[in-house]
Chains A and B, each alone.
Chain A
Amino acid sequence: MSAIDADVERLTEPLRRTSSKFYVALAVTAILSLATAVAYVSQLRFGMAVTGLRGWGTQGGVPWGLYIGTFIWWIGIAHGGVAISAAVRLFDFEEYLPIARIAEILTLIALPMAATNILFDIGRPDTLWVMITNWPTTVQTSPLTWDMTATFLYFIMAGTYLIITLRTDLHDCLQRGTLPSALNPLYKLLLIGYRPSEREKSAQMAWWMAIGILLLVPLMSGGVVPWLFATMGMHPGWFGASHGPAMFAESMTSAIAAVVITAAAFRWAYGWDDVIGDEIFRGLNKALIALVLVTLWFLLQSLVTGSYPAAPAETGALTQSLVAGRMAVPFWLAVGGLLVALAYLVAQALRPSLYSVAASAVAAFLVTSAILLKKIVFVVEGLLYPTRDPLAGMFPENSYWPTIPEFTMAFGTIAVAVLIFLVATKIIPIVELEHASPAPDEAAESDAEVTEA
């Protein structure tokens, strides 16, 4: 009895057949990716002046905005993916096996997209290598260096993890000839030194790697990334010890939502209703209910403490601007998105007749968009009130509205990610084949062998 109720032939279908749906998606994402590249070239040519960012203080702007908000969001997404996969391996959540590799690939794409948003944000990408040469000293105090270090480490571990679990599948597929022959050199490279006997060893390695990854997740999404902000004592919107756990909850929430959307897309595109079954979506929906509640609970904490009359002056002003001031519209949109999604998720849990994959995907889309908005609001709110009185009152008020190039580039990374995902489905098997049932003819053969014996 195998964990995935489908045969290898069907699961490797994306590698052999390409539908017109695929070409449309490829064209659309390629055009959007090109637009992103064009916008970046114009930013390189004309300077960061093309963005809506400006200095805080006399320039009355904010120095970080859409790019940094989108960066945190991508980092969060990156953590859900491989965390699901690692949890599946460590805790034997067999029913989630069909989405394990989808989740891993999501991680491996999300991390570079996060890095790309940082690249968009810095003024001199040509000098970036200095971060590496100065690493030994800067790592002692610079949160950005911690962040770079953790991201690299995480990327390498997630990548190794994927390759370890992929080798057996690739070997089997090559034997069967289900892989596109044009890419043989790549497969040869991935399979260097492969011996069928390595199976057991690599399963052990994957197990240890999964532990390492699960330990790194809270350190990153709930650690170095929030510390970029939470260590800045002069920013009332950012400073605080609870930002780590709060941001971790938000990250896991949007990450699970992203996995739901991706899994639903695969199910729809390849008619895999039986492969990625309803119980997977129902389970993820349940997890989302808990995570959205935790996210809202953290939000409530900061609203209550910030609204109380005895709150420090700037914290009060900040909370006021979130609740009823200049940041109220994006803030309540984000909260509203979470609440609407939560209402559906709870309803479908109580009344199973309300459940559908499409509606779950829409709810997940609402959740992850709301978290993206929340992240952007978080970055900007900290910079609207970046210092204390008497300085805070003497500077003009800060404001920020992103420009079209900024929107194009920050959100364009989503199109780039989808594009890479589409290409990936044509290169490697997107479902772990090790746990699938053998192809019908092979099954017949093995039966025959048994009979002969």
Chain B
Amino acid sequence: MSQMGMVIDVERCQGCRACMVACKTENDTPRGAFWMNVFRYEEGEFPDVEQGFTPNPCHHCSEPSCADVCPTNARFKREEDGIVLTDYSTCIGCRYCEVGCPYGVNFFQWRDPEEGQYGFAADDELAREVRQNLEELDADLDGSGGAWENPRLQAAQEPRGTKMGGGNHKVGTMGKCTFCVHRQDSGDDELAGTTACEEVCPINVIHFGDMEDPQSKPRQYLEEKGAKQRWKMLENSGNEPNVVYLGDKPSNAARGMENEYKDTDEAIEAERERDAAYLVADGGEVQ
């Protein structure tokens, strides 16, 4: 038995949010969905203000309350590696997992994924034009198909043999961090055992691996940095999270520095109103 997890060294984290961007590109999540999210927070009063950063992916709990409340078993914990997954084919979209999770890491597909991403639906005339253009572009290059898509995201995952990776899942279903399950199941040694956020981090804040294995990356890192403060988010919640933080824990008085994130609906609306010429331009001019 293994249990995948992360050791996140917040003492090193500079809040650059490269992991958030990497997660979005890797998993193709729509606007407003942050499967990886880095809190930028501050504590204290002027002039004694301290600033801190805390990445908050899904904690892939050992006792996941989201899976308990799921009325269809769509949200479940995979036995072989302890990753908590969503079976998009049986999710009814009741959002109970989101309500039942204390970490705020679930993201519902409020609209058609392409519309949520680009501002127009898949069957839109504009979308067809863009797609055709990209296909031509792709044929010119190597012809592997889908230059804009990660083909691994379409793959089916065990144990159910249905698609459970990627943020481009069908409208009306729930998504969240999968610990890049498509990488773990890819059969590619370079990808298995890594996540996009971990890989992109310029200062090695994130250490992903099997928390049960003393030889794994995260366990080795923990051993090396044994003297640092070690904590888990909402440790008393009973969920038994598998993300371990090293460094200062945000106090209860920590306050987020963003009052709100950029409004998703406005961003989608802005995209929808763009000139078609901008979207179909073959990799050239940007207006």
Interface residues of A (CB under 8 A from B): 46-49, 53-60, 63-64, 118, 121-125, 127-128, 130-131, 134, 137-138, 141-145, 148, 232-235, 313, 383, 386-391, 393-397
Cα–Cα distance between A58 and B56 once the two chains are bound (Å): 11
Residues facing A in B193-227 (CB within 8 A) are none
Contact B34 A142 (CB under 8 A): no
Q: List 6 A-B contacts (CB under 8 A).
A: A49-B110, A53-B110, A118-B94, A233-B238, A386-B104, A387-B103
Task: Knowing A49-B110, A137-B73, A388-B102, say if A122 contacts B94 (CB, 8 Å).
Answer: yes
Closest A residue, CB atoms, query B73: A134
| Inter-chain contacts of B253 with A (CB < 8 A) | 389, 393
* B143 CB-CB contact with A under 8 Å: no
Task: Knowing A130-B72, A387-B234, say if A394 contacts B256 (CB, 8 Å).
Answer: yes
Contact A63 B98 (CB under 8 A): yes
| Inter-chain contacts of B72 with A (CB < 8 A) | 127, 130-131, 134, 138
Residues facing A in B98-118 (CB within 8 A) are 98-112, 115-116
Contact A47 B109 (CB under 8 A): yes
| Inter-chain contacts of B163 with A (CB < 8 A) | none
Q: Which of B90, B112, B173 has the most CB of A within 10 A?
A: B90
Task: Knowing A123-B172, A395-B256, say if A390 contacts B250 (CB, 8 Å).
Answer: yes
Contact B237 A124 (CB under 8 A): no
Cα–Cα distance between A394 and B54 once the two chains are bound (Å): 10
| Inter-chain contacts of B101 with A (CB < 8 A) | 234
Stretch at the interface among B63-71, B126-134, B145-153, B275-283: B63-71
Cβ 8 A contact of A145, one of B71, B104, B108, B111: B71
| Inter-chain contacts of B255 with A (CB < 8 A) | 393-394
* B92 CB-CB contact with A under 8 Å: yes
* B15 CB-CB contact with A under 8 Å: no
Contact A396 B258 (CB under 8 A): yes
Contact B68 A58 (CB under 8 A): no
| Inter-chain contacts of B261 with A (CB < 8 A) | 58-60, 396
| Inter-chain contacts of B172 with A (CB < 8 A) | 47-48, 122-124
Q: Which of B91, B104, B233, B255 has the most CB of A within 10 A?
A: B104
| Inter-chain contacts of B68 with A (CB < 8 A) | 141-142
Closest B residue, CB atoms, query A382: B99
Beyond A48-B172, A141-B68, A390-B252, 13 extra complex contacts between A and B, CB < 8 Å: A57-B105, A58-B34, A63-B99, A64-B99, A123-B91, A123-B93, A124-B93, A124-B173, A127-B89, A127-B92, A128-B92, A390-B251, A391-B103
| Inter-chain contacts of B111 with A (CB < 8 A) | 46-49
Task: Knowing A60-B260, A393-B252, say if A142 contacts B70 (CB, 8 Å).
Answer: yes
| Inter-chain contacts of B107 with A (CB < 8 A) | 55, 59
| Inter-chain contacts of B34 with A (CB < 8 A) | 58
Contact B254 A48 (CB under 8 A): no
Closest B residue, CB atoms, query A123: B93
Annotate B255-281 by CB proximity to A: 1 below 8 A, 0 otherwise.
110111100110000000000000000
Annotate B50-66 by CB proximity to A: 1 below 8 A, 0 otherwise.
00001010000000010
Closest B residue, CB atoms, query A141: B68
Contact A127 B91 (CB under 8 A): yes
Shortest C-beta distance, B17 to chain A (Å), equals 12
| Inter-chain contacts of A386 with B (CB < 8 A) | 99, 102, 104
Cα–Cα distance between A389 and B251 once the two chains are bound (Å): 8
Cβ 8 A contact of A144, one of B54, B71, B115, B234: B71
| Inter-chain contacts of B104 with A (CB < 8 A) | 55-58, 386-387, 391, 395
* B32 CB-CB contact with A under 8 Å: yes
Task: Knowing A59-B261, A138-B71, say if A130 contacts B92 (CB, 8 Å).
Answer: yes
Contact A390 B254 (CB under 8 A): yes
User: Which are the 4 A-B pairs with shortest beta-carbon distances?
Assistant: A123-B93, A123-B172, A57-B104, A234-B102
* B249 CB-CB contact with A under 8 Å: yes
| Inter-chain contacts of A387 with B (CB < 8 A) | 102-104, 234
Cα–Cα distance between A419 and B157 once the two chains are bound (Å): 48
